[in-house]
Amino acid sequence: MSYYVVTGACGFIGANLVKALNERGIDKVIAVDNLKKADKFKNLIDCEIADYLDKHEFIERVQHGEFDGAIEAIFHEGACSDTMETDGHYMMENNYRYTSILLDYCLDHETQFLYASSASVYGGGRIFKESREHEGPLNVYGYSKFLFDQVVRRRVLADSGHSQVVGFRYFNVYGPREQHKGRMASVAFHHFNQYREHGKVKLFEGCDGYGHGEQSRDFVYIDDVVKVNMYFLDHPEKSGIFNLGTGCAQPFNDIAHSTVNACRALEGKPALALAEMVSQGIVEYVDFPEALKGKYQSFTQADISALRAAGYDAAFNSVAEGVTKYVQHLSAK
């Protein structure tokens, strides 16, 4: 009997992957996570799983050979994703060492291994291409992802004889099942709640030469992230490290504008231009936090040429499209 393992299964991307496997008729899913933040269980209420394991128990059982030959694929989404975390020991143990153990297992047992990397490996650079010279993380979270990617390059990608290993450098992912993330949830999530509670949304003032709210990121909707993961699951012959974004940077102002107008549409109100939102106090700019200065990516835009070259040719949701779907989902909830 073969199982599919999803680590971080109660988290944002992990839970969406469990749901996607279910929609394919796959319910032999082992969900692995750490439920110290117990509310995360809500992400799996509408999902079918075969078993739940705490991540420490899972690692121990893997190392003792209890799963030898029993796992078809591992989607490894389990990690500390707080870019403000300053405990380097915890970050490296939780992100780097944990992932290395699973890589060893997958290579030994020819199990597909699809894992979460991060666009944070690029740091403050302006070229977002999967190449060593463009990488320079700004925080220990980014470093933990960067370091494991180097292991994959040395151990797997330099030798085509291995089973599938795919790393996804997620850019700014947003969408359903992220509510447990608190301050690390997406800007779209926070804007929805700010607008519903206060009738206005907040953005950072300008920094790094950008105007108010003009700092730009590659925002990618969760449905697209899931589709890319499933594409590689269906193509076990393809390995590599791939950017997973839309390939199009959009300013934070676009998130605010799309969120407010999607909310207004549900209220039966007409759309407004961004300038009108600003003049009416619906969009408010706040001081840029001191704690983020020098550690903030003011611009990201995925170079997705490698992803396209690997055969993934589907279109991605724009901010307006993705945010509208997300607001409708949040309102229904």
The pLDDT score that the predictor gives to residue 81 is 63
Where residue 197 falls among pLDDT bands split at 50, 70, 90?
Answer: very high
Would you name the residues annotated as active-site residues?
Answer: 141, 181
Q: Pull the structure tokens for residue 237.
A: 């012959």
The pLDDT score that the predictor gives to residue 83 is 61
Task: Identify residue 267 by its one-letter amino acid code.
Answer: E
116 HSE (CA, 13 A, CB side)? 28
What does the H/E/C string look like for the chain?
A: CCEEEEECCCCHHHHHHHHHHHHCCCCCEEEEECCCCHHHHHHHCCCCCCEEEEHHHHHHHHHCCCCCCCEEEEEECCCCCCCCCCCHHHHHHHHHHHHHHHHHHHHHHCCEEEEEEEHHHHCCCCCCCCCHHHCCCCCHHHHHHHHHHHHHHHHHHCCCCCCCEEEEEECEEECCCCHHHHHHCCHHHHHHHHHHHHCCEEEECCCCCCCCCCCEECEEEHHHHHHHHHHHHCCCCCCEEEEECCCCCEEHHHHHHHHHHHHHHHCCCCCCCHHHHHHCCCEEEECCCHHHCCCCCCECCCCCHHHHHCCCCCCCCCHHHHHHHHHHHHHHC
The pLDDT score that the predictor gives to residue 246 is 98
Residues in CB range of 131: below 8 A, 6 or more apart = none
pLDDT more than 90, % of the chain: 83
Mean pLDDT over 44-70 rounds to: 96
The pLDDT score that the predictor gives to residue 130 is 98
Q: Residue 320 above 70 pLDDT?
A: yes
The pLDDT score that the predictor gives to residue 257 is 98
Reported pTM: 0.95
- How does pLDDT run across 231-285, given as a tens digit for each residue? 999 999 999 999 999 999 999 999 999 999 999 999 999 999 999 999 999 999 9
Q: Which of 150, 57, 119 is nearest to 300 (CA)?
A: 119
The pLDDT score that the predictor gives to residue 233 is 98
The pLDDT score that the predictor gives to residue 333 is 83
The pLDDT score that the predictor gives to residue 275 is 98
- How does pLDDT run across 95-145, given as a tens digit for each residue? 899 999 999 999 999 999 999 999 999 988 899 999 999 999 988 899 999
Rounded to the nearest 10 degrees, what angle do helices 319-332 and 187-198 cross at? Answer: 50
Mean pLDDT over 294-312 rounds to: 92
What's the whole-number average pLDDT of the chain?
Answer: 94
The pLDDT score that the predictor gives to residue 311 is 98
